[in-house]
Amino acid sequence: MDYPYKPPPAAGNASSDNSASSSNTRHAPVSDGVEGHREEEDHHSAPRPGKSNVEPLRLQTSFRDNAETGGPVSGGEENGYDSEEDLEGKRIRAGEDQNYTIQEEKEVVSRFDRRLVTFLALLYLLAFLDRSNIGNAKIAGLQDDLNLSSSQYEWLLTAFYITYILFEWMTLMYRIVPPHIYISLCVCGWGLVASFQCLATSFGGLVVLRALLGITEAAFGPGVPFYLSLFYRRHELAFRNGLFISAAPLATSFASTLAWVIVKFSSNGPISPWRILFLVEGFPSVIVAVFAWVLIPDSPGRARFLTRRQRAIARLRLEEKKPEFQPSQEQRFNWGEIKKTLSDPKSYIAAIMFFSCNVAFSSMPVFLPTIIKDMGYDSIRAQARSAPPYLVAFAVVLLTAYASDRARSRSPYLIAHALVSSLAYFAIAATGYFHEHISAELSIFIRYVSVFPAIAGFFSAITLIITWSMDNRVEKEGKGASIAILNIIGQCGPLLGTRLYPESDGPWYIRGMAICSFFMIVVAVLAVVQRILLQRENRAIVNNEHHGSLDPNEEREELIGGGRRDDIEQSGDQRLVYII
């Protein structure tokens, strides 16, 4: 129950200013285990301004929050209060208005990891599976049954990315449509389209289906890193994005393994193996879409898998004042932040890095089975040998993302992976160029082993680029706009990548490997440039602060980024805004 409260006229009352700021302000008893802001002493003691005989109170200004989290949050006791004995030995987050134990916050983050991130990773696995399994279908009979030329196969790959690019703007739909509805429709859409590929009888029909698949997947994947930023703090994002994006190499590995099983056991069956492949790997998405409607939360305060207290903590840790997707006069779309992002050169440097990395990212998964087959293996063994490099990439992506979050740094890991990937691609190209001077066994060994660091490198780089592009955006609209720029420019890379390995370049594919090597070098160089720019801006902010050129309000908005204190990187007396 809430108790009406009128602020006393005494000037010494520290909460009177805040109380007078809103006609809806009331003080309510603390019943959710989250400590109140102040305690009042008994009014029978020595008279002082602002003292009263009420129990511990909490300033309540947003009544929708309680409605969203299911009312007052119980801390486990019937009356909802924590005694001194209950609080003894607990480590409380210091320096914040809201108080909760670090252990409680860790449990909330852990639940998001287990229930939200893993489910999104499953969805991305299904999406990437449906996108890239055409490479396995090609050597499972697709090319022969539909009489596809090398050029037509490349157009099947390109058609997907043309529509994918044209519909990148749908990233902003995550701020307009409730995610549980939006994501479910996307998953169901690509599941149906991917399944219908098994019915294709001509190049024209299949290219239309590939274009539709690009639309449905563009509506989902590019916006997920932005969606995750609504649930996690800045220094927590790389590992979660890594968990999400690592589903891509896992999907490709799974596709290769499943293709090996299907081809092995259905080669002499009534239905072509590639048709079974499309159906078996496509239709599960339709079923999972039903679960997405139930399991995907619209915001931290609406996560069904959290208790009421955990929902309150999930929102407090991000200092969310209002629930997401609940329109109000105060929650307007921030067009100014979008304009600021569009005029920032760093947005375009990140986008060009993404473009360069996507040249390799888009080509290897759909061409690797063919490349390995051209090393001298039959179709079944080529399918089987396509899986291990992606399993290794899966582990490397997770380790890299975890280390990046722990170090709160992106560029060193990004530069290292880009260089290693570039060297691996160069080794493959050089081996092909000098193949006449190398034994066949050694040539196959070098080329196959080099595939491992090449793939692990560009998958890890993709993860870091996406996370880094959002790290230094405060407003949600800015994060969404940065992702939109990243994808609109970056996803043009596949238009080149999908045409790097024509059959005429086989079996060595020197030109394609050399081009990928070059673009991974570009990623490393641009990462160095981005790092230098961010370091300069960090120094400028520190200098402005030391010279008192920022007023307190500007400093909080610029440095804290909406009140998240861990968005400030500290080094001695310096307060660095940008993660480098």
Q: Which residue has the higher pLDDT, 499 or 85?
A: 499
Q: What phi and psi values does residue 570 have, to the nearest 5 degrees?
A: -110, 135
Q: What is the CA radius of gyration of the chain?
A: 27
Which residues neighbour 95 within 8 Å (Cβ) at sequence distance 6 or greater? 565
Summarised one tens digit per residue, pLDDT across range 254-293 is: 888 888 888 888 877 888 999 999 999 999 999 999 999 9
179-196 vs 273-282: helix axis angle to the nearest 10? 170
Separation between Cα atoms, residue 138 and residue 144, nearest integer Å? 8
Summarised one tens digit per residue, pLDDT across range 240-256 is: 888 888 888 988 888 88
Q: Which residue has the higher pLDDT, 222 or 194?
A: 194
Give the pLDDT mean for 166-174. 81
- pLDDT for res 547: 62
Q: Which of 55-69, 114-128, 313-327, 447-461 has the lowest mean pLDDT?
A: 55-69
411-433 vs 345-373: helix axis angle to the nearest 10? 40
Q: Which CA distances in Å does 187 have to 211, 235, 283, 291, 545?
A: 16, 29, 10, 10, 47
Residue that the structure tokens 């396995």 belong to = 136
| CB of 61 closer than 8 Å to CB of 67 | no
Give me the amino acid identity at 385.
R
pTM for the structure as a whole: 0.70
Summarised one tens digit per residue, pLDDT across range 374-397 is: 998 888 889 889 999 999 999 999
Domains and CATH numbers, the chain: 1-61 (no CATH), 102-325+343-535 (1.20.1250.20)
Q: Which of 195-199, 322-326, 388-392 has the lowest mean pLDDT?
A: 322-326
Res. 169 pLDDT band, cuts 50 70 90: confident
Give me the amino acid identity at 136.
N
Secondary structure class of 58 (helix, strand, coil): strand
**Is the peptide bond prior to 284 cis by the omega test (within 30 degrees of 0)?**
no
DSSP 8-state code for residue 36: P
Q: Which residue has the higher pLDDT, 102 or 424?
A: 424
Which residues does residue 57 pair with via DSSP β-bridges, in sequence order?
29, 38
- pLDDT for res 557: 35
In the chain the first and final C-alpha atoms are separated, in Å, by: 48
